[in-house]
Chains A and B, each alone.
Chain A
Amino acid sequence: MTDAPLLEVTDLATHFETRAGVVKAVDGVSFSLARGEVMGLVGESGSGKSITGFSIIGLIDPPGRIVSGSVRLEGRELVGLPAAELRAIRGKAISMVFQDPMMTLNPMLTIGAQIGLSLEAHEKVSGAEKRRRAIAALAQVRIPEPDSKIDFYPHQFSGGMRQRVAIAIALLHRPKLIICDEPTTALDVSIQAEILAEMKELVAELGTALIWISHDLATVASIADHVCVMRHGKLVETGPVLQVLTRPQHSYTQALLDALPSRAKPGTLLARGAGTDAAPPPRLARRPEPARAGAGAHHVVVEHVGKRFQHKAGVLRLLVQKAGLARPLPLVQAVDDVSLSLARGEALGLVGESGSGKSTLGRMVAGIYAPDSGQVRLDGEPVMSAGERPHKTTTRIQTIFQDPFASLNPRMRIGDGIAEGPLAHGLVTRAEAPAYVAQWLAAVGLDPTFAGRYPHQFSGGQRQRVAIARALAMQPDVVVCDEPVASLDVSIQAQIINLLIRLRQELGLTLLFISHDLSVVRHLCDRVAIMHRGRIVESGLAGAVYDNPKDAYTKRLLAAVPVLPVAT
């Protein structure tokens, strides 16, 4: 009994019976975990890594079903256990932490109430005892002032603090195993680094075993002893972290590693997803190339731009405010006096954590938002001044957004979506449009016959290709990319990065590339600007900033990025 592993999963198979047929989400997975061991479970979306986690604690909802295999916790079989006995194990012997703490914590209940519910699930505790234990749990995960924070609601915490609360709940009954499903994916890198460090300490201190499910090889490398790589419901490779990541045996693991921009020489095409796409259509006569200025001249100039966001107060509210009976609505200074410039054909990376104002700045450059102060100019012409209709210049700047599903009209055929802008601005005639769209689809590596399809008929990566085609069909000189690869799997991300590198060269595009991912920016951009709280704290050549940061915030940011071990 004592020499049995803590958890032993053998030939686990979880299938989903759907109308389209049986989906084998988990298909014969076996691994074992010793007491106190940290295991990383890595795979792309749809690989079955989360379903494996849920199968272990017996939380598979119909139409899903564990069809075969066994899960043994200290020798005790969990598959097929009655619901009540499984419930007694969940949260007590095995607990779980999820990706987005905003979604997992109930927004309507105080933190204290939620911790209390989890305590009551396995123990009889008095009200005072509950409160004392809840405060102790918060203190354990290093939440400051736990005795007042206990009465807070989830929305009053930052993302990192919320995840700490979720971890506190998971640790409540001193479980033998915690399953963490992408626990730091929704967090900024600096918060991720803190949570990773704290989690490592807690696990070592309490002797808890950990299954760390993630798509990100680097975070797994920094916490796990031992890693399993999953694909299509099967484990393709298992072994000690260092060995798997430095000397991968399976071609899929190798491909995953090759897809990472951090491991390639900046600016080169990534090994994965190098395609033989058609060349983009030539520049249209109706969109003449701007007069070429000398090299290094200012193409896009952002001058002292600022943007505030404030709720509009009505007449009555203003009256009541005047009388001193209501507080004025809060004001957010998203971008605060930012200046930068891009030379023609240059790629500038704009890096910052969430809330730094990078997207707002990008939207002002693209003429989507009017700045409250300052000006954006393209070849000397103002892009858009406050209150004015978008200037014609604005169509020479196009944007690619993060979520292609949200940015494409779900009820419009993608061909019509791509042709919409060029038609509206008279770049092509109705007769020319279909051929023009087909050329662009081919240029982004899609079958030209897809023009008649709707966005939901595409995968995430294909949709982002459509979004790129739509932006480029306007034949812009400048493209603002707002986190274009943030929601994609690494292999798809590599394809999109390659596409952007290629098109940028072929079309001589000027790129403003907004991202929170430092490795992607380094790979794609010549220069980089670091944004923090609405200001640019540091900018310069990418290599110089990354290798020799000057600003304290940049230093912290770079230090927080998890690094993959490199083969020696």
Chain B
Amino acid sequence: MKLTVNGVAHDVDVEEDMPLLWVLRDELKIDGPKYGCGVAACGACTVHVDGVAVRSCQTFLGDVDGPVTTMEGLGNPDEMHAVQAAWLTHQVAQCGYCQGGQMMQAAELLANNSAPTDEDIDDAMSGNLCRCGTYPRIRAAVKTAAKSLQEG
């Protein structure tokens, strides 16, 4: 099956019902998306399919109908996405395991809503669990990222 991830086309020979998460991690060796729950309850595996944030642990490969973007495609240490830069500025992470999913979710939010309110942030981000409890900084970082995107 054909799959485009972060602009690179792949051909994978796996079951159609294999969740995208495991295709990314175990077949394509792309480790940004994390396994946390397997049932779309934590958001650590969040990636974009055609720009939409999805839980890759509950997205079957056969249902992927557009290009996939992971944290690796959003930005990198030398060229950070505004969301990643804001996460660094606020030093949001503790263990950091959920933060890739948090940032993918935040990037989607900001692509659709350039000035989210606290309520917008809660609505968009509450599917992403952080067991370390970094929520206050996540809210602050989303706002900082929104501002820097607005300023271009």
Do these two chains really belong together in a complex? Answer: no
